[in-house]
Structure 1
Amino acid sequence: MQCNKTVFNYYPVATGWFLSKTIDIWWTMNRILIFTLSLLLTQLAAHAQLSVTENGNTVTLQNNLAAFSFNTTNADLTSIVNHKGVSLLGKKGRGYLLGPGFSMSPTTYSLVRKTDSLIEIAFDHEADNHFHYSLHYIIRPGVSGVYCYLTQSHKAGDSAGIYGQTRWGISANESLFNYHLVRDSIQGPMPAMSSFSDANKIQDWTYRLPDGTVYTKYNYADYIEDRYVHGMAGTASNLGLFVIQASHEYLNGGPTKQYQNVHSTPYLICMFNCGHFLSDKRKSDDVITGDWQKTDGPFLLYTNEGSDINAIWTNAKQQAQQEIAQWPYQWMQTPDYPLQRGTVTGTLLLNNQPAANTHMILAAPGYDWQAQTSGYIYAVRTDAKGFFTIPHVRAGSYTLYAYGANQTASFSKANITVSANKTTAIGVLAWQPANHGKILWQLGIADRTTRGFRFSDHPREYGIFDQVPDSLHFTIGQSKEATDWYYAQTKPGNWYIHFTSNTSYTKPALLTIAIAGAAKNPTLQVLVNGQTVKTYKPGNDASVYRSAVAGGYYQLLEIPFDGSLLQKGNNIITLQLPDVKNGGGIMYDAIKLEAE
Structure 2
Amino acid sequence: MDNGILQVTLSNPEGIVTGVRYGNIDNLLEVINDESNRGYWDLVWSALGSTGTTGIFDVIKGTSFNVIVENDEQVEISFTRTWDTSQEGKLVPLNIDKRFVLLRGCSGFYSYAIYEHLAEWPAFNLAETRIAFKLRKDKFHYMAIADNRQRNMPLPDDRLPPRGQALAYPEAVLLVNPVEPDLKGEVDDKYQYSCENKDIRVHGWICRDESVGFWLITPSDEFKSGGPQKQNLTSHVGPTTLAVYLSAHYSGEDLVPKFNAGEHWKKVFGPVFMYCNSLFDGADPLWLWDDAKEQMIIEVQSWPYNFPASEDFPKSDQRGNVSGRLLVQDRYVYDDYISASGAFVGLAPPGDVGSWQRECKDYQFWTRADENGFFSINNIRAGDYNLYAWVPGFIGDYKYNVVVNITSGTHFMVDVTCGTGCDIDMGVLVYEPPRNGPTLWEIGIPDRSAAEFYVPDPNPKYINKLYVNHPDRFRQYGLWERYAELYPNEDLVYTVGTSDYAKDWFFAQVTRKKDNNKYQGTTWQIKFTLDDLDQSSTYKLRVAIASATFSELQVRVNNPNANRPLFSSGLIGRDNSIARHGIHGLYWLFNVDVPGARLVAGDNTIFLTQPRTTSPFQGIMYDYIRFEGPSSSISKREKH
Q: TM-score band (shorter)?
A: 0.7 to 0.9
What per-residue deviation string (whole Å, max 9, x for no partner) do you get for residues 341-389 of structure 1? 2110011110122111111121111261111121111111111111101
Name the CA distance, whole Å, in 2 between partners of 1:309 and 1:494: 51
| Equivalent pair of 2:395/2:434 in contact (CA under 8 Å) | no
Change in CA separation of 1:428 and 1:284 when aligned onto 2, cut-off 3 Å: farther
User: For residue 403 of structure 1, what is the amino acid of its counterpart?
Assistant: W
**Alignment match of 1:460 (pick from 471, 475, 494):** 475
Unaligned runs of 5+ in 1: 1-60
Which of the residues 474, 487, 495 maps onto 2:524?
495
Q: 1:248: how far off?
A: 0.9
**Matched residues, percent identical?**
29
Give how far 1:92 is off.
Answer: 3.0
* 2:481 partner SS: helix
> After superposition, where does 1:573-584 map in structure 2 within 5 Å?
573-580=606-613, 581-584=615-618
The aligned residue for residue 79 of structure 1 is 19
Give the equivalent residue in structure 1 for 2:548: 518
In the other structure, the counterpart of 1:361 is 346
| C-alpha displacement of 1:275 | 1.8
- Please identify, of 569-578 and 411-420, the stretch whose mean Cα deviation from structure 2 is larger: 411-420
Residues 47-104 of structure 1 deviation map (CA, whole Å, 9 limit, x = unaligned)? xxxxxxxxxxxxxx01121101011132210001103343211423510111124332
* Residues 267-292 of structure 1, C-alpha deviations (whole Å, 9 max, x = no match): 11111112211134x37654254222
Deviation at 1:489, TM superposition (A): 1.4
User: Which residue identity lines up with residue 440 of structure 2 in the other structure?
Assistant: L
Q: Do the aligned partners of residues 354 and 237 (structure 1) sit closer, same or farther apart at CA in structure 2, a change above 3 Å counting? A: same
Counterpart of 2:111, as a letter, is C
SS at match of 1:111: strand
Displacement of 1:234 after TM fit? 2.5
The Cα shift of 1:453 comes to: 1.2
TM-score w.r.t. length of structure 2: 0.80
Q: Could you say what secondary structure the match of 1:369 adopts?
A: helix
CA distance in 2: counterparts of 1:309 and 1:227, whole angstroms: 22
Give the Cα–Cα distance (whole angstroms) in 2 for the partners of residues 105 and 118 of structure 1. 24
Answer yes or no: is the 8 Å Cα contact 1:490–1:585 preserved in 2: yes
Letter in 2 for 1:353: I
Partner of 2:321: 343
Corresponding residue for residue 230 of structure 1: 203
Aligned residues: 533
Larger Rg: 1
Structure 1 residue runs of 4 or more that deviate by more than 6 Å after TM superposition:
none
Question: Does 2:243 match 1:209?
Answer: no
CA gap of 1:222–1:285, structure 2 versus 1, over 3 A, is same
Change (3 A) 1:427 1:238: same
Say whether the 8 Å CA contact 2:547–2:573 is kept in structure 1: no
Question: What secondary structure, in the 3-state scheme, does the structure 2 residue paired with 1:254 have?
Answer: coil
Which residue does 2:422 correspond to in 1?
A: 422
TM-score norm. by structure 1 comes to 0.86
Tell me, in whole angstroms, the C-alpha distance in 1 between the residues paired with 2:256 and 2:67. 36
CA distance in 2, matches of 1:513, 1:310: 44
1:205 is displaced (CA, Å) by: 1.5
Letter in 1 for 2:346: I
Displacement of 1:159:
1.4
Give the whole-Å Cα distance in 2 for the aligned partners of 1:149 and 1:405.
34
Which residue number corresponds to residue 132 of structure 1? Answer: 95
Query: C-alpha separation between the residues in 2 aligned to 1:284 and 1:218?
Result: 19
Q: Which amino acid aligns with 2:222?
A: E
Deviations 1:152-208 (A, max 9, x none): 011111112323210110111001111221111222221112212357112131101
Paired residue type of 1:440:
L
Look up the match of 1:245: 218
Give the counterpart letter for 1:277 in structure 2: Y
SS at match of 1:169: strand
Separation in 2 of the partners of 1:422 and 1:84? 51
Name 2:151's counterpart in structure 1.
Answer: 188
Query: Is the 2:225–2:255 contact (alpha carbons within 8 Å) kept by the matching residues of 1?
Result: no
> 1-side partners of 2:450 and 2:285: how far apart?
31
Check conservation: 1:242, 1:316, Cα contact below 8 A. yes
Q: Aligned runs of 1:24-63 on 2, under 5 Å?
A: 61-63=1-3
Cα distance 1:283–1:258, how it changes in 2: closer, same or farther (>3 A)? closer
User: Aligned letter for 1:487?
Assistant: F
Distance 1:541 1:198, change over 3 A: farther
Q: Superposition pairs for residues 435-584 of structure 1, below 5 Å?
A: 435-455=435-455, 457-458=472-473, 460-468=475-483, 469-470=486-487, 471-491=491-511, 492-504=521-533, 505-519=535-549, 521-530=550-559, 531=562, 532-536=565-569, 537-549=571-583, 551-580=584-613, 581-584=615-618
Question: What does residue 16 of structure 1 align with?
Answer: none
Once the 2 structures are TM-superposed, how far is the Cα of residue 399 of structure 1 from its aligned partner? 0.6
Q: Choose the corresponding residue for 1:96, options 40, 44, 52.
A: 40
Alignment of 1:62-461 (within 5 A): 62-93=2-33, 94-100=38-44, 101=56, 102-126=58-82, 128-198=91-161, 200-202=165-167, 203-210=169-176, 211-280=184-253, 282=254, 285-288=257-260, 289-306=262-279, 307-339=283-315, 340=317, 341-351=319-329, 352-366=337-351, 368-414=355-401, 415-420=403-408, 422-455=422-455, 457-458=472-473, 460-461=475-476
Residue in structure 2 matched with residue 21 of structure 1 by the alignment = none
Pair 1:584–1:197, CA change in 2 (3 A): farther
Contact 1:286 1:372 in 2 (8 A): no
Contact 2:545 2:623 in 1 (8 A): yes
Give, in angstroms, the shift of residue 212 of structure 1: 2.4
Cα 1:115/1:316, change in 2 over 3 Å: same
Q: Work out the CA distance in 1 between the residues paired with 2:160 and 2:522.
A: 34
* Aligned residue identity for 2:325: T
Matched to 2:454, the amino acid is R
